[in-house]
Structure 1
Amino acid sequence: MAKIVAFEVRKEFTEQHSSAELVGLIRVTPADGGAPILLCTHPVTRFSVDPLAYGIMSRGARYDFMAVRFQLPDSSKDELPQTSMEMDNIDPAVVEAVRSSIDRARLDLETVMSSRPNDVIERFPNMEVRDAHWTDDVVSIEIAYESLATTPLVKHRMTVGVFPALRTVG
């Protein structure tokens, strides 16, 4: 099924001299209900000089830049969308943050154009952290939707928040 993308976004993708780039927005909501952590994949705007901070403002929220790499979740006919997120292990605080927030954290992944940060192109809400592992160089986090095969009472969880495609059914 083809994705519906706004004309302005398609135009920016295909323009020869466009400075706009695709920016990933990541909202990590800890299981304990603490304040969400907002991250972005590209340093679009400088927020401060001392300490040096970059990020992007999207819909009134400040997303701080972190060198995070992720691909949009892929889905096949037989399984729910899943992806992984990688970041360089340059600071021991990164591993400590992953260890402290890995327990059933929820992630919302979104993409926006750097020139239109308030217009969401694609959204993957309520994904959960499945696994995390790290080496001396890279921290990797596996992300997926909740498995329906092992979930009791599945029919009561068929909501638009869990399955965004239900908006188009009917």
Structure 2
Amino acid sequence: MSPERVAGLSATQTLFESMGDKAKDEMGVLLTEIAIEGLAQQQSRTPIDQGNLQAGLSAYVDVENLRARMGLLDMKAGRSRPFYGRPVDRGIRAQTVTVQRRRRVNGKLRTQSRGSRKRASDIIATYTLNIKARPGTYFIEAPDLGAIADGKIDAFWADLSEGAIT
């Protein structure tokens, strides 16, 4: 998923590059504060009965590109620990899936390299499973964070224009 384009970001980055070191450091501190507040909001909204999702939440600040990211950042296509975070956040649609159970050989499933098919001789049962629809909890989206971040950034630019930050 590509990051959203922010209107006027390139002009702001050009202005940011022309600022002094103290102003850049102040912006870094500001972005870190916003990321910490956003992460705290996400952690407070995380459903506790859904495993250890709070441990999967993280924050990343990139001062050079004026970005602060929060959420389930270390997710890689279902291979990370809280792989169930996205379905809990966004919900699940009702669906019927086909499940194939495989036999074990010497106590282990025979696995092939990625992309290869299961051996037909190893499939011992095939059945359909009905999955019920479940609404999302939307703990990653922090609706109040945008207003908080806008207020802090507006205060930063006001201080910069008044000369409080050089």
TM-score normalised to structure 1 length: 0.27
Structure (1/2) with the larger strand percentage: 1
Q: Which structure would you say has the larger Rg? A: 2
Structure (1/2) with the larger helix percentage: 2
Name the structure, 1 or 2, with higher relative contact order (CA <8 Å, separation 6+). Answer: 2
